Amino acid sequence: MPDPVPPAVALRFEVVPVSAFKDNYVWTLRGAAGDSARYAAVVDPGEARPVLEYLSREKLELAAILATHHHADHVGGIAELVQEYRVPVYGPRHEPIATVTRPVSEGDQVSIPQLGASFSVLDIPGHTRAHIAYYGAGALFCGDTLFACGCGRLFEGTAEQMYASLQKLQALPDATRVYCGHEYTLANIGFAKAVEPQNAALKVREQRDRRLREAGSPTLPSMLGDEKATNPFLRCREPAVVESANKYLGARVSDPVRVFAAIRDWKNKF
């Protein structure tokens, strides 16, 4: 008799939010069992202090640092962390981050052997010129590109680039857990309701996420399937979104990039 087929591979790590600044999350991967339970990796440590406190309290050793883009609230803590832990620092190949030792871009893999974890790198420009995401084990670390029920501002890229980046993320499976960089969800839902007042899934999401915040819990990670149903920036072909964009512009557009650009502009002023 052959051995029975094992269940779907259990995650070898769990992901814990460590709060930084006012509303940033430093996503902290920690080994779930065995030898890996001694190790952790962090994504976008904008501040070192809360990470160092967490590692020391939990008796964890840092194994790697991953950065999604060059903004200080995502990379500002790296220099202090690498003084304490000499670990590889992964980050976007085409952005100026002095502390990155392993520049990566689309097609590269990032392995963290201590955690049994491996991620594919995706290029997702728009918020910054060479923003990247890390995707693996059903988890997406996407910095300030895709937010829960929203998306990042266009600081260095064009609407075309950002729309294409969001489309790339949208192509991932519905069960993907989205770990974005900030707790902006309730404000984003407020805007999404202005764009799509009749979206029933949005109303359900608002109730759930409001309860989470009232209980002091993060609304993250979100599920990509929920984003597809409620995030207006992933819904630029939906008639209701197109209609709202047209109302905002006072003009008729249907091209999804122009719809996207219109609602991104509207959100800036909302």
Proportion of the chain in helix, strand, coil states, percent, rounded to 5: 40, 25, 40
Q: CB of 4: closest distance to Zn ion in angstroms?
A: 47
Using CB under 5 A as the binding rule, whether residue 71 contacts Zn ion is answered as: yes
Residue pair 44/28 in contact by the 8 Å Cβ criterion: no
Q: Is 70 a catalytic residue?
A: no
Q: CB-wise, 116 or 152, nearer to Zn ion?
A: 152
Quickly tell me which residue has 């266009």 as its tokens: 154
Nearest distance in Å: CB 97, Zn ion: 12
Q: How far apart are CA 210 and CA 72, in angstroms?
A: 29
**Does residue 209 touch Zn ion according to CB under 5 A?**
no
**Can 144 be counted among the known catalytic residues?**
yes
Binding of Zn ion by 95 (CB under 5 A):
no
Number of residues that bind Zn ion (CB under 5 A): 2
Token pair of 50 as six digits = 């809360």
User: Least distance (Å) from Zn ion to the CB of residue 143?
Assistant: 7
User: What is the chain's Cα-based Rg?
Assistant: 19
Does position 206 bind Zn ion by CB under 5 A?
A: no
Catalytic entry in 44, 123, 127, 226: 127
The rounded distance, in Å, linking the Cα atoms of 179 and 193 is 22
- 73 has catalytic annotation: yes
CB atoms under 10 Å from CB of 204, counted, come to 13
Region binding Zn ion by CB under 5 A among candidate stretches 39-47, 144-152, 196-204, 239-247: 144-152
Q: Which stretch binds Zn ion (CB under 5 A): 43-51, 65-73, 230-238, 254-262?
A: 65-73
Q: Which of 123, 144, 209, 226 is catalytic?
A: 144
Q: Check if 71 is active-site.
A: yes
CB 165 within 8 A of CB 124: yes
Tell me whether residue 82 is exposed, middle or buried, using C-beta atoms within 10 angstroms of its C-beta: 0 to 12, 13 to 18, 19 or more. Answer: middle
Per CB under 5 A, 144 contacts Zn ion:
yes
**Contact flag: residue 258 with Zn ion (CB under 5 A):** no
| Per CB under 5 A, 131 contacts Zn ion | no
Contacts of 32 (CB under 8 A, 6+ apart): 10, 11, 12, 13, 14
Sign of CA dihedral 134, 138, 139, 144: positive
Q: Cβ 162 to Zn ion, closest distance in Å?
A: 13
The single residue of 74, 131, 209, 226 carrying the catalytic annotation is 74
Q: 54: how many CB neighbours lie within 10 A of its CB?
A: 18
Stretch of 31-39, 66-74, 78-86, 254-262 contacting Zn ion, by CB under 5 A: 66-74
Residue 205 binding Zn ion, by CB under 5 A? no
**Centroid of chain to Cα 199:** 23
Catalytic amino acids?
Answer: 69, 71, 73-74, 127, 144, 182
Binding positions for Zn ion, rule: CB under 5 A: 71, 144
